[in-house]
Structure 1
Amino acid sequence: MKKKIAISLGILFLMLCIIGYSFYRKIYAPNVKETVSIYIPTGTTMNELIPIIDPYIRNINGFIWVAEKKNYPNRIRPGKFRISEGMSNEELINHLRGGKAETITLTFNNQDSFEKLAGRVANQIEADSTALFEAFKDVDFITKNGFTPETAIAMYIPNSYDFYWNTSPNEFRDRMLTEYKRFWTDARREKAKAQNLNPLQVSTLASIVQKETAIIEERKTVAGLYLNRLHDFWPLQADPTIIFALKQKYGQEKEYKRVLNKDLDIDSPYNTYANFGLPPGPIGMPDISSIDAVLNPENHKYYYMCASVEKMGYHKFAKTLKEHNTNATAYQRWVSQQGINR
């Protein structure tokens, strides 16, 4: 009898050891196959999470069992998470439930409109372009923070920023306001004041400089030219503002390679041939090099500029109308030879 009891106890102990080891393996044994980043959308359920994480772990049933024991299905966090090879289910779930989410580096360059900015941002974070566009155009937010619908695009400074992948549209917009305030340091504001401009006016002029030349080294010269005109009460006569007005009237999708004389009569506050001073707001999103060009312009006596036919992409600058007319005639002759009508 004693022998039978000992054998039974031994079998029971062995069974308990096997069960215990099984539980131990489910909880603590390595289960993640590779180091990789996974993206968990906002509102993800456990059933939706399984196909996201299954390719990267050895035993999905063990993961589900431990997740349920730790109440993870009711505490799923959205975001981008870096999971590491060799993680146990315990470590993995603790990380997904309470660990630090991974950030992404979000980058955007100068965009012509909020529609384009929304599309660019939506390709990098969870938020969709429609929701982002609505946040950008929120009139209450715009006016509360000292902007107008015409100047609001100046708040978005092209650069690279670290964001959580699941950043909401409003969180993105609020962060951009913070970055705008950080960008406009006292030193930059003093430089703007020296040109009799405020930050929004600087961004407006910088957007014209940006459209006039893609050559960064030329932007300080172009900025100095427009500031000469502005300070001496000349009309800016900037062709990019005419193109902006044409696109507002006839549609953003149309391309204009040159401005015709008839275009100069367009009825628009952005017509800098017909109106003195700066237009109501930026005609695009200027990048930092264009803003700093306006804040640190080249000091010269140029009042005229014309595209160069000898050095494509660059401009010829002139101090007198006579000199400018010579440059303009050469350019117009070249344009006609290329057959560019529009």
Structure 2
Amino acid sequence: MRLKPKSPREAIQPDRAPEPPARSRHVRNPFVILINLILSSVVLMMLAAGAGLYWGKLEFDAPGPLQADRTVIISSGQGLTTIAETLEANRVISNAWVFDLGVRAYKNAGRLKAGEYAFKAGVTMNEVMRDLVEGNAVTHSVTVPEGWSTAQVIARLKENEILTGEITRIPGEGEVLPETYTFTRGATRQQILDQMVAAQEKLLREIWSRRSENLPIKTPEELVILASIVEKETAKADERTRVAGVFVNRLNRSMPLQSDPTILYGLYGGEAWTRDRSAITRADLDKKTEYNTYQIPALPPGPIGNPGRAAMEAVANPSRTKDLYFVADGTGGHVFAETYEQHQQNVRKWREIERALRAQQQSAPAAPQAAPATSN
């Protein structure tokens, strides 16, 4: 700081401001400028990507454009991109690109399953993805009634319009388990048939393992043979074990089973159950076939159909009775007898019931015919 000026005229002068510092070489370096630009761009890109991911997540979880429930078929062999395009074309999702990226983000790109899917209105992309990953496809079913022949089973599978493919391996009689089987679109007829055979093998092993002792049945195959006969002799659940008991008693005494269904199967094979059982004649009973149990005192060589679980359980654990005979009682069931004399009385009663039924049918008035249409 200056002291007093030496003369009155001498003005007080301010201190001179310091010179600004020299500009750093680094600021002027183009490389530094480029680095700053890159870092700024990366930050902006990260912010944009974060915003995009946030938007995509909202879109992926938001209700979709579907206005009404719709079924869509995802074919086998379709990739993720094609599946996404199919869903967008059916208005299930709003954006195939978002769905594609979302599925990949969840690491499910290779886990989507083909099938027929029923999507509800407003379904989200996330829900669609879960359905495809879990295979929550529409299920269909095919039912095999108890006692059907394998030929009938094959015919039913061929008639089914949803199943695909040809049947190349036909199982033997008695090797199919009558049951209702569910499947999704795309399943083949051979797959369902193989499933029926596997189910029968598994069930037969279980039933055979808990069969009663001292049965005149030596193998699981013989159990199926007798069960197929029991299946055709009665449709009443409470009679199966008793009918099985009659046949077991006859086998123990080396008596012919004398089962009418075996006559039909010996004559017509797998087509027997399309025929009227009541039409059996004395001539049919006299025809020699390996299935004619009026002539052979043993089991026939094979099953006459595919027995269900209940019939096989009945043969494995039959009723403990002395019954050797049974005949229809006119109510859909049967009356049983221990002796031939008792059986003959029951047969006579059944003949009387048959005659009464025929007379009733003959005397019943014919159904009135519709009047011809008239014009006004």
Tell me, yes or no, whether TM beats 0.5.
yes
Q: Distance in 2 between matches of 1:34 and 1:301?
A: 65
Q: Determine which structure has more spread, i.e. the larger CA radius of gyration.
A: 2
Note the residue ranges of structure 1 that are not aligned, 5 or more in a row. Answer: 1-15, 143-151
Map of 1:231-270 to 2, 5 A cutoff?
Answer: 231-248=252-269, 253-270=274-291
2:336 maps to: 317
- Structure 1 counterpart SS, 2:251: helix
List per-residue Cα deviations over 1:244-297 (Å, max 9, x = no partner). 223339866432324321110223211111222111222122111111111111
1:78 maps onto 2:114 in alignment: yes
Match of 1:30 among 53, 63, 68: 63
Runs of 4+ aligned structure 1 residues displaced above 6 Å come to 43-46, 48-52, 67-76, 122-125
Note the residue ranges of structure 2 that are not aligned, 5 or more in a row. Answer: 1-47, 360-376
Residues 1:176 and 1:58: Cα distance change in structure 2 (over 3 Å): closer
Map of 1:203-214 to 2, 5 A cutoff?
Answer: 203-214=224-235
Length-normalised TM-score, structure 1: 0.70
State the Cα distance separating 1:238 from its structure 2 match: 0.3
Q: Which has the higher helix share?
A: 1
1:156 maps to: 176
1:180 maps onto 2:200 in alignment: yes
- Structure 2 counterpart SS, 1:292: helix
Q: Distance in 2 between matches of 1:42 and 1:208?
A: 43
List per-residue Cα deviations over 1:35-84 (Å, max 9, x = no partner). 666554556799x989996897366xx45555777899999843244545
Map of 1:50-129 to 2, 5 A cutoff?
Answer: 57=91, 62-64=94-96, 77-81=113-117, 83=119, 85-89=121-125, 92=128, 94-95=129-130, 98-102=133-137, 104=139, 106=141, 107-121=143-157, 126-128=162-164
Residues 1:213 and 1:90: Cα distance change in structure 2 (over 3 Å): closer
State the Cα distance separating 1:303 from its structure 2 match: 1.0
Percent identical residues: 25
Q: CA RMSD in A?
A: 4.3
Residues 1:29 and 1:287: Cα distance change in structure 2 (over 3 Å): same
Aligned length: 304
Q: Distance in 1 between matches of 2:181 and 2:272?
A: 31
Which deviates more, 297-306 or 175-184?
175-184
2:323 maps to: 302
2:4 maps to: none
Residues 1:224 and 1:326: Cα distance change in structure 2 (over 3 Å): same
1:191 maps to: 211
Residues 1:99 and 1:123: Cα distance change in structure 2 (over 3 Å): farther
